[in-house]
Chain A
Amino acid sequence: TQLLEQSPQFLSIQEGENLTVYCNSSSVFSSLQWYRQEPGEGPVLLVTVVTGGEVKKLKRLTFQFGDARKDSSLHITAAQPGDTGLYLCAAFQGGSEKLVFGKGTKLTVNP
């Protein structure tokens, strides 16, 4: 079973700060997804990265897929309280349709 390790597990920052969270594995993935989950809700897909070295931007969020397609990072610029949530990375396991998730990074942005 491939394991997705996310770090840090918790992050509490002030509004306006920048941050980076990481998703690492020893396995190679054909693609990797990032989700955000708010308390009491289901995860919402933010982005899918497919190509090694790929960088995708979503407003103040920048996603990068490692060259070897084993790891990914999410960078948030000038964080806002609305960015608060659980950020999860996920990938499909082998040839199955099963999505495997990391444990997530719980981000709190204080006003």
Chain B
Amino acid sequence: DTGVSQNPRHKITKRGQNVTFRCDPISEHNRLYWYRQTLGQGPEFLTYFQNEAQLEKSRLLSDRFSAERPKGSFSTLEIQRTEQGDSAMYLCASSLRTSGRRRETQYFGPGTRLLVL
């Protein structure tokens, strides 16, 4: 399977604990995006990388959240001191940025479902 993969698929944690999720994009894709989706809502943008550079961050990304893409390949999203409101599906997507103005298609992974007790 050469699609976007995310690990773990499910995570249950207690309030106050730290959690880290991993995303492996499609291999040749240079852009990687993180979204969060709560029940009954569409995905909400959190941040994105082009190669290893983090180019945009949403105001939803509080200082407890940090994302990295150290070598421009896989990415991690860490949430420190989790709160019950962090319970959501965390989705990763990747795309191949080429020259030109047309926006490229974002391919989504299956997500990591987080439950904070």
Interface residues of chain A, those whose CB is within 8 Å of chain B, are 4, 31, 35, 40-45, 48, 88, 90, 92, 96-104
Contact = CB atoms under 8 A, between A and B. Distances in A.
Interface stretch (B13-21, B67-75, B102-110): B102-110
B109 A42 contact: yes
A104 B111 contact: no
Interface string B91-117: 101000000000101111111010000
B85 interface: no
A44 B107 CA distance: 7
- Interface range for B: 20 to 34
Contacts of A99: 33, 35, 43, 45, 106
A28 B4 CA distance: 31
Interface of B: 4, 31, 33, 35, 40-45, 48, 55-56, 58, 91, 93, 103, 105-111, 113
B56 A42 contact: no
Contacts of B35: 99
Given A97-B55, A97-B56, A43 B45 contact: no
B56 A98 contact: yes
